[in-house]
Each structure stands twice: as structure tokens, then as C-alpha cells.
Amino acid sequence: MFTLAEENYLKNIYHLQTENSEGVSTNLIAESLQTKPSSVTDMVKKLAAKNMLLHKPYKGVSLTEKGKKVASNIIRKHRLWEVFLVEKLNFQWDEVHEIAEQLEHIQSDELIKRMDAFLDFPDFDPHGDPIPDENGNIKVTEKKLLSELKKNQRGVIVGVKESGSDFLKFLDKRKINIGTKIKVLGKEFFDGSMIIQVRNEQFFISKKIAKNLFIQISEHV
Amino acid sequence: MFTLAEENYLKNIYHLQTENSEGVSTNLIAESLQTKPSSVTDMVKKLAAKNMLLHKPYKGVSLTEKGKKVASNIIRKHRLWEVFLVEKLNFQWDEVHEIAEQLEHIQSDELIKRMDAFLDFPDFDPHGDPIPDENGNIKVTEKKLLSELKKNQRGVIVGVKESGSDFLKFLDKRKINIGTKIKVLGKEFFDGSMIIQVRNEQFFISKKIAKNLFIQISEHV
DNA sequence: AAATTATTTTAGTTTAGTCTAAAAAAATAA
DNA sequence: TTATTTTTTTAGACTAAACTAAAATAATTT
């Protein structure tokens, strides 16, 4: 149905669209896909002809409903595969992206259906990003940055903002993962640092780290 | 390292080479890959330039050691994925080929290493075909056709000769799989049919079926 | 051994996806 | 509002992998 290049364009445009709200520019797509704006123009024409997106020349592009569905399905596959790699094959969560980048293009609805069941229908990938369902719907949770929490608030780590390899390793060393429960023990005003409790241990968390962790706040405590 | 097309050529040539012993002809490759002989000539030149095979124009081609290694690694991946699909995702063994055909091209040595361990280092795929190791070595077992067995001989089904969908469904209906133990209870001379015992049941097996099942004969019985 | 047939290669096109360089349009500054 | 800069598109060319049609070579038959 779609070539590899087409799928990658759709996926990237989808991401850019959710980040930028307005119509996505040719230059932005080119940058995100590591290619040239002229190449983008060509591909955008092709995808517009397939009714995957609307293209007003010199204005931006925006995905059609069809286009969004195709794109979110690729993202669904990517994130399900990431769960598989971490949960079943014991990869670290910072090692799985490249491989999922390939696996997301495998074409088989049945495979994804069974993989989803095999993984017990996860809602989030190992980085805390939501996994769209078959219709492209995403489970939204109200998440705050750790830095916004107050003393004595509790919650569960549900995601990271920017997942650089160094950062992921920092967390991994301390066995801090998606799903890890935390409690804020104290906060310093002068540098924004925090002390948090994780299991039986206490960790010092710099402002930089605290601004990079998404927390789902526990309601009843 | 290799394009998808290159990998498919190498894999097919490998199979043709083991089946035909002599140098593999352009026409044969074309037929096996559902393409035209002229296209094969082009690709063969490319692969010869990459030292994957030897090509004497108008004579056949033969894979180099390097080429064999690359090819057997693709086959290794294909068969490991088939095991995964059947053992972990509960696919029927006649449903997995198409999907494995895609998955065999995923590039990640680490992934395959972990998948191998996850599957507990299988030696055979769900069709009974041997899974090459990392060096391309294959575990050879002495297998006979069911039709060659004598009365009262026992063995384990280790493979099928030609795996048409109808045939696989026939077996599946009777819960006859790779690994199923059988015993020959009787043989009819006039039509070559057999009665075999499988678990507590007895099955009538026509000559056609008996000539399509590979059996590893049990030594101590 | 010459003629015929089959196989393989060459030559020239085609398509998808990319590129560079130049032109066109829009946005911004003077 | 005109000039300048930025962004986007067009035009033309390239590569990988396929194709068709024709030429070249090898194999087979008479």
C-alpha cells in the first residue's frame, strides 16, 4: 500500500503536526527527515494525490483523517515493538529506537493484533509515550513535570521529555523507569533541586533532571 | 550493507545452489525470483563486484564463502522469526512465511542474538527446516520419508517436503506437527498407504502424504 | 559441420526517490 | 512601498532496480 519512504514521511509529518499545531512547512519536514526541501515538495505531491494530506503550495501541509490514521498506525507499531524489545528481550530502553524504526514497517495486521495481546495490551511504550489504538486514539493522561510537584506529593513516572542516551543511562543506573513510583521529600528554592524517594532509597535530583521527567500524580494519597 | 533486493537474490541463489549442486543459471534465478533474466544479469554483476559470488558469463553463478555466510544469516533470521511467530504468537505454521519474509531483513545482530536465546536456541523451524548458526553451519539429521519406514518403526516428524497450504491444514487438523512422535502400525502394498499411531489415535495416511513427511527415526526402540 | 533452438547478455527505457541550481512566491526590513 | 531575505517550487540530472527488444553465445538437432 505505502512505500517505506511514504510511511516515513507520514509518520514524521504526524509528529510535526502534533508539536506545531499549525500547518507543517516544507523546510521543517526536510529537516526532520534529513533531506532537502525540494525532495519534500515532490513527495508531498505524491501523498496529496493519494489523499493522505492537503497541500497548499507555499502554505504548509496537514494530514487528512486518512493520513492521520495511517501515520498513527505506524507509530502504534513502533511503540508496540519497543515494548516487546524491552519487556521480552530485555533491551535497555535507550537501545530500542533504531530497531523499532525498522520493525514499524512490517506489514501484517494480524501480527500487530497478536503482539498487542502477547504484551498484554500496553498503553505506553518504554519511554512513556502513549500507544495509539487501532483507530489512532491515544489515551491521554494528565502528566506534570517532576519539577512542578510539591513536597510530599506522590506519583508515577510516565515519561521523559527529551530522551538523550546520557539521560536514559542516568536513570537506568538508579533503576528509575517508566512505572517507578516516587515521592517528593524536599525541594530547594535556590537551585530547583529535589530529594525524592524511590522504593527505600532517596535520590538527589537536579533541576535539569526534574524538568525532564513526566509524572502522573497519584490522586488518593 | 545490502539492499533488500540484494538480500533476496543472495537468499534465493543460496537455496538454488543447495538444491542443484551445479552452478546456478540466470534463468533459474529469474524464475525463482519472479523476474526477468536480464534483470538477473544486472544484479549478478553487482553482487559479483561485491565479492558475493562468482559469475562466468553464459555459465552459472556460485556464491563465495562470504556470499554463503550473508545468505545463511538471512535464512537464519527467517527461520528464527518463524519459530517466534508460531511458539510465542500462536500462529499456525502455514501462516508465518509471508511475515518472516519481511522480518528476515531487519538489521540487528543483537536482536537476533536475543531472539535466539528467548526461543531457547531452536535447531529447527516450524516446518522442520534447520536453522543455521551464526557461522552458517547447519545441524544435519538423517531423515527419511515416512513412506520409507517399515512396520513397527518409530520416529519423530522433523519436516515436510513440500509445504502447500492444503497439506499443512490437513496435518494441523489432526494436530500433527514438527516434533510429533509417530509409530507405523501397518502398511498396504497395493497403494502404499499406512496406518500410523499418533498419541492415542490412529490415522490413515495415503501414499501421497507419506511421501511428503520427513521422519527422524528413533534409534532405541 | 551447419542449422536451429535455447539461453544469456547488451542496449535503451521506466519509475521511485533523491539531488543541485535556478526561478518564483512570500515574509521582513528599510 | 520598495528592497532584501527567506522559503518554496520547478527543472533537469542521477541511481537502483526493474523492464522490453535485440544481439550474442552456447547447446542441440539434423
pLDDT at B110 over 60: yes
Residue in B closest to A118 by C-alpha:
B89
B43 beta carbon < 7 A from strand C? no
Q: Which residue is nearest to nucleotide C21 (CA to C1')?
A: A38
pLDDT at B49 over 60: yes
- For position B218, what pLDDT does the model report? 63
As to burial, measured by CB atoms within 10 angstroms (0-12 exposed, 13-18 middle, 19+ buried), residue A106 is middle
In which residue are the cell numbers 537464519 written? B76
| DSSP secondary structure code for residue B212 in this structure | T
Domain ranges for chain B:
4-63, 143-217
Chain C nucleotides covered by protein, CB below 7 Å: 7-12, 16-22, 25-26
In which residue are the cell numbers 539521560 written? A167
CA pair distance A37, B86, nearest whole angstrom: 44
User: Which residues sit close to strand D, CB under 7 Å?
Assistant: A 25-28, 37-38, 40-42, 44-45, 55, 57-58, 60; B 3-6, 35-36, 38-39, 42-43, 46, 58
Question: What distance, in Å, lies between the first and last C-alpha atoms of chain B?
Answer: 50
CA A21 and chain centroid, separation: 17
CA A101 and chain centroid, separation: 13
> How does pLDDT run across A89-102, given as a tens digit for each residue?
999 877 999 999 99
> How does pLDDT run across A37-58, given as a tens digit for each residue?
999 999 999 999 999 999 988 8
CB atoms within 10 A of CB A138: 15
pLDDT at A220 over 60: no
Contacts of A88 in chain B (CB under 8 A): 118
Q: What is the domain class of A4-63 according to CATH? A: mainly alpha
> What CATH number labels A72-140?
1.10.10.10
The predicted model gives B40-52 an average pLDDT of 97
- For position B220, what pLDDT does the model report? 38
Residue in B closest to A109 by C-alpha:
B99
Q: Which residue has the higher pLDDT, B145 or B82?
A: B82
Question: What distance, in Å, lies between the first and last C-alpha atoms of chain A?
Answer: 50
CA B84 and chain centroid, separation: 15
- For position A168, what pLDDT does the model report? 82
Q: Which of B89, B98, B111 is nearest residue A99 as measured by Cβ atoms? A: B111
- For position A221, what pLDDT does the model report? 34
**What CATH fold (topology level) applies to the domain B143-217?**
SH3 type barrels. (2.30.30)
Residue in B closest to A106 by C-alpha:
B102
Same fold, A4-63 and A143-217: no
